[in-house]
Amino acid sequence: MHDERQRIEERVQRLHDQRIKAAVYAATVPFEVEAWQAPGEPVSFEEAAAAPYAPFAMDTPWGPPWGTTWFRMRGQIPAEWAGKRVEAVIDLGFIGDWPGNQAEALVHRTDGTPLKAVNPLNQYVPIANPATGGEQIDYLVEAASNPDILADNFSKTTPMGDVLTAGDKPLYTFQRADLAVLDEEVFHLDLDVQVLRELMLELGEHDPRRHEIAHALDRAMDLLDLDDVSGSAAEVREALEPVLSKPAHASAHTVSGVGHAHIDSAWLWPIRETKRKTSRTFSNVTSLADEYEDFIFACSQAQQYEWVRDNYPQVWARIQESVKKGQWAPVGGMWVEADGNLPGGEAVARQFIHGKRFFIEHFGVETKGVWLPDSFGYTAAYPQLAKLAGNEWFLTQKISWNQTNKFPHHTFWWEGIDGTRIFTHFPPVDTYNARFSGEEMSRAVRNYQEKGGATRSLAPFGWGDGGGGPTREIMERARRLADLEGSPKVVVEHPDDFFAKAREEYPDAPVWVGELYLELHRATYTSQARTKQGNRRSEHKLREAELWATTAALHAPGYTYPYEKLDRLWKTVLLHQFHDILPGSSIAWVHREAEAEYARVAEELEALTQEAVSALGGGGPRVFNTSPYERSEVLRSADQPVYVKVPAGGSAPLTAAEPPQLVTVEGRTLDNGLVRVTVAEDGTLSSVYDLRANREVLADAGNLLRLHTDLPNYWDAWDVDKHYKNRYKDLLDASEITVAAQDPLLGAIRVVRSFGNGSTITQTITLRAGSPRIDFETDIDWHEAEKFLKAGFPVDIRAPHTSAEIAYGHIQRPTHTNTSWEAARFEVSGHRWVHIGEPGYGVAVINDSTYGHDVSRTVREDGGTTTTVRLSLVRAPRIPDPEADQGRHRFTYALLPGATIEDAVAEGYALNLPLRVADAAGAPEPVVSVDGEGVTVEAVKLADDRSGDVVVRLYESRGGRAQGVLRTGFPLGGVKVTDLLERPLVDERVEVVDGGVVVELRPFQVLTLRLARA
């Protein structure tokens, strides 16, 4: 037989694209259209319905950036369409092939009922099936003219990322608004040909099935009447039936399809637009559920549900009904799909607490899995926290984006830092926007790493980010691929069902231990530094407010614990931990609003904390310590340093204690009897001498500020590529070096530098009595572009690994680059501290707001080893926000010589939780105190059920076993071990001895105790 593949393939493509698709709508009649441009921000349906409308013609430009245009569309179904399936078809002037991040609209009836959205790949609205003919149709369409921020494929900056700079030139040209008859036979022929053609092209050239499909398509096209596609469609479909009905091989891979619409809670649009995107997509989903009984849609992010509940009650009611029918599956159990690295441990816990509670309260559904397809790497604390929240499985896809190393598993057990394991799956289809194309199905099978051990994978399908979610076309593809020779089998099912089957067939799946590090998007640890600082400050202020509110509730008559306010503020902070807000990868509008929100949160939390400590009664100034560690340190009170001692989680009178040593300042040298710090003429540290250990800490210039050229290959705000290290300038020109403070309790030297494009850095290097910690209070006025600023500490330590704090513990990473896996970790994340050490000696670098850092090592000519820790301070990406990080930054980092891990933990808390001075009378005992090293109290609050019980969350912080006794500052009536949602764990108990709770923890174990008051 002659090889005619090229002729057949080209013939099928042309007939499909130009004739069959063009005939899907058999007849059309245009709507009469009028328009009204809403001024400013979006308005309610009621306001839009009462607005004055003007005639509007097709091919007319409309929509300024971030604008809202309402269209009134009126029409009448022709009488001759009786008995046919009639739809509205609306093309707002969609551009490109990305279904999100552009124009989209929500169609309403005149009574305000939302019907369905229109999106680039989902342009229809069902009207009647069958129509009776003569029906009057009247719609109000709310259309958003969102700009395409990435229209130039990340190659150009744009002012479109903020309504303040975007201008008012119309972005779109309206193309179509029609009443139309859907020819169902042609519609199905279109899908038949698509599925077969795509399958054919994925099969090997020597595969008989490929040739069988090709010749079947060729013969079928002979039956297609080009002058009457509709009339011949049934005959063509009948000819294709034999090749469409051949069953899949018995050993065919199974793809579990799960409807999905990944909607970033903010990214290339502001939060206010996400509120509308969710309503549009959810309207589409509930409409599709009415049409396809076998459709199942998985949806995460409780915050988005809440937006719909509060703003679109009719859509909310439809969601509730779909959940009851089993077609809508709440998943994820988190408030938002948060960043996977940067949120603190308690914040991750609250993500689960607030998310899971929302789904239980509103749907009676307890989610079983963590759904995080798009975050940029995942902390090794997740397995334990997920299990403590009642989860059984974990799903992500993003690790497939690795630049260097291919992750070796798709289905596996993920083991966290404490030893907890959770069953985990990465969809080998490598997308969370699948459409069941032939290429996707072939990729899923080809890519699947578990061949020989397991036979199934998951594929989230549907268009995200305002693309409208799953479509009927995708559902039709799934039906044709359910059992088709040459393709994997496709079954649409609940993700819980997939995970149950996957675990049953593969219980001995391989184990991956430690973090899931994404070898990409490493700059998200640093970009938009003020947003990150707002998060860090908020997390600690929430801890502070809860602790002192609990103290006041226990000891201050008449004080009322602020449940609602704390709940609302936590949810605000959790929202801004979304994986495109906290990482710094959103447009200017998002980060401008985030900074304002963080300022508001700080103001409210400050008021709540002040109210709580004031409720304890006036009687003189006291010092309050929110840290879980006892503090002996110098406090700046009314500009007069004072040395104080304060118990962990408690308070003490503001009275001076005697420090063990005093500070001397001689020239550029600070000395407190513990360490001696010398500042060089260029403003770097020439020496940090540990007087206790009798050793020099530094191997070279310390606190070296290095300015790197920083232009990644592609994603500016997201990425820092390895070549950034190759071009840099060390900032060694100090315009000022002066003594900033000279007191027996506190000495400081100020260093000022000017550089680059008018930028300045002012640093105050401070040493206090009684502490070896050296603080670098930093004030930067930043005006650089495509630059990356780091602060380096080359330490004379041979450290085989670093330890960096993460959520509820720390992680060790090798300092060598023996393999490509270690080499790929050239930029990593941590929370409050990084520690390096050798037997008998260690050093910690502590911070109050940065996350990114790198650690390198080199062997010197003298045989010694230099291990260099460099904090990432600030970047200057230009896409998607051309003004990212510009302006003022104030933060502090510190060097702690002679530090153990426990020292690093304690000083990390101390730097991030400054002592508070307030007027208060009594000296109530701390709510809880712990005897025993390594047992660290992270959260103290009243139980969410308002029972008055006290909830305490603590963890083992050193990485070893710990024993201790927790004592309460109130009469203890009983204690229960609970999950994160404060529900008793029946198999977990603790012993109470002499009024104290005996605690035994494995390394990094998190324990939640519910303490009843006697």
Active-site residue list: 374
DSSP assigned state of 885: T
d(CA 248, CA 458): 18
Instruction: For 654-690, give the DSSP string.
Output: S-----SS--EEETTEEE-SSEEEEE-TTSSEEEEEE
A 10 A CB-CB count for 946 gives 9
Q: Are 248 and 449 in contact (CB under 8 A)?
A: no
Region of residue 728 (left: phi > 0; alpha: psi -120 to 50; beta: else): beta
Q: Are 157 and 886 in contact (CB under 8 A)?
A: no
Q: Are 453 and 216 in contact (CB under 8 A)?
A: no
For residue 859, give the amino acid letter. Answer: V
Through-space distance between the first and last CA atoms of the chain, rounded to whole angstroms = 91
Long-range contacts of 636-642 (CB under 8 A, 24+ apart): 636/746, 637/917, 641/743, 641/745, 641/746, 641/768, 642/745
Spatial CA neighbour of 447 closest among 426, 475, 432 = 426
Helix extents (H) in 391-494: 438-447, 472-480
Instruction: For 547-573, give the DSSP string.
Output: HHHHHHHHHSTT----HHHHHHHHHHH
d(CA 188, CA 476): 8
3-state SS assignment for residue 64? coil
Pairing label, strands 124-128, 746-755: unpaired
d(CA 834, CA 805): 6
Region of residue 681 (left: phi > 0; alpha: psi -120 to 50; beta: else): alpha
A 10 A CB-CB count for 988 gives 12
State the number of CA atoms in the 13 A half-sphere of 430 facing the CB: 18
d(CA 466, CA 265): 11
d(CA 381, CA 1003): 12
* CA dist 29 → 72, 89, 292 (Å): 16, 10, 27
**Secondary structure of 161-220 in the HEC alphabet?**
HCCCCCCCCCCEECCEEEEEEECHHHHHHHHHHHHHHHHHHHCCCCCHHHHHHHHHHHHH
**Secondary structure of 278-310 in the HEC alphabet?**
HHHHHHHHHHHHHHCCCCCEEECCHHHHHHHHH
Q: Which helix (H) or strand (E) holds 653?
A: strand 651-653
Pairing label, strands 801-806, 809-814: antiparallel
Supply 702's token pair.
């310390």
Q: Are 690 and 772 in contact (CB under 8 A)?
A: yes
Spatial CA neighbour of 746 closest among 731, 732, 729, 765 = 765
Largest CA distance in the chain: 101
Query: Over the Cα atoms of the chain, what is R_g?
Result: 31
Rounded to the nearest angstrom, the gap between the alpha carbon of residue 1012 and the centroid of all alpha carbons in its chain is 35
For the chain, what percentages of helix, strand and coil (3-state, to nearest 5) are there?
25, 30, 40
For residue 851, give the amino acid letter. Answer: Y
